[in-house]
């Protein structure tokens, strides 16, 4: 969660609340701009319903917009139990560009077509650019001489 517009380096106590339920989420210190970012873990047995986060400081008591919790947690055996650092699901997952087969080599799906007859001729791009620049340079020299500035 992220909190903003607090005093700088201020202690903020965080609570998850609902009628009859108050769960302490921890205490954070804001940075030099009065902002905090804090990761919270919602209790596994949290009943579904509407909740608010309350942030309490020496001078403020702020209530967040309503959050809705739907359903219940999936317990062990469903792959959703408590996790630790050795859990593979928390590790970076490799991603591959479209069409890349991990550990494999792609084979072309179509054979390249062979062109019959002479290769098409054209002016290479660099030569074309140099030609245009040369013409512009000559034009600029003639223009300067015509106006008497060169």
Q: What is the mean pLDDT of residues 134-138?
A: 70
Q: Domain-by-domain residue ranges, the chain? A: 2-69
Q: 0.85 exceeded by the pTM? A: no
Tokens of 114: 């062979």
| Partners of 120 in the β-ladder | none
Rounded to whole angstroms, the Cα distance separating 40 from 27 reads 11
Residues 57 and 67 sit within 8 Å (Cβ to Cβ): no
Q: Which residue has the tokens 């209790």?
A: 43
Mean pLDDT of 101-106: 54
Question: Region 18-34: what's the mean pLDDT?
Answer: 91
The answer, yes or no, to whether residue 77 has pLDDT greater than 70, is no
Q: Which CATH class is domain 2-69?
A: mainly beta
Whether 14 shows a pLDDT value over 80: the answer reads yes
pLDDT value at 84 more than 80: no
């Amino acid at each position: 969660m992220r909190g903003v517009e607090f005093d700088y380096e201020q202690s903020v106590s965080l609570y998850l609340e609902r009628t009859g339920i108050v769960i302490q989420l921890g205490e954070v210190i804001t940075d030099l701009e009065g902002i905090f970012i804090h990761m919270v873990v919602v209790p596994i047995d949290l009943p579904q319903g509407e909740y608010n986060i309350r942030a309490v400081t020496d001078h403020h008591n702020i209530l967040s917009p309503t959050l809705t919790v739907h359903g219940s947690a999936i317990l062990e055996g469903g792959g959703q139990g408590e996790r630790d650092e050795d859990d593979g699901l928390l590790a970076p997952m490799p991603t591959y560009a479209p069409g890349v087969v991990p550990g494999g080599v792609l084979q072309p799906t179509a054979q390249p077509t062979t062109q019959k007859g002479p290769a098409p001729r054209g002016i290479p791009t660099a030569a074309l650019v140099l030609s245009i620049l040369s013409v512009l340079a000559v034009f600029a020299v003639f223009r300067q001489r015509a106006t008497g500035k060169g």
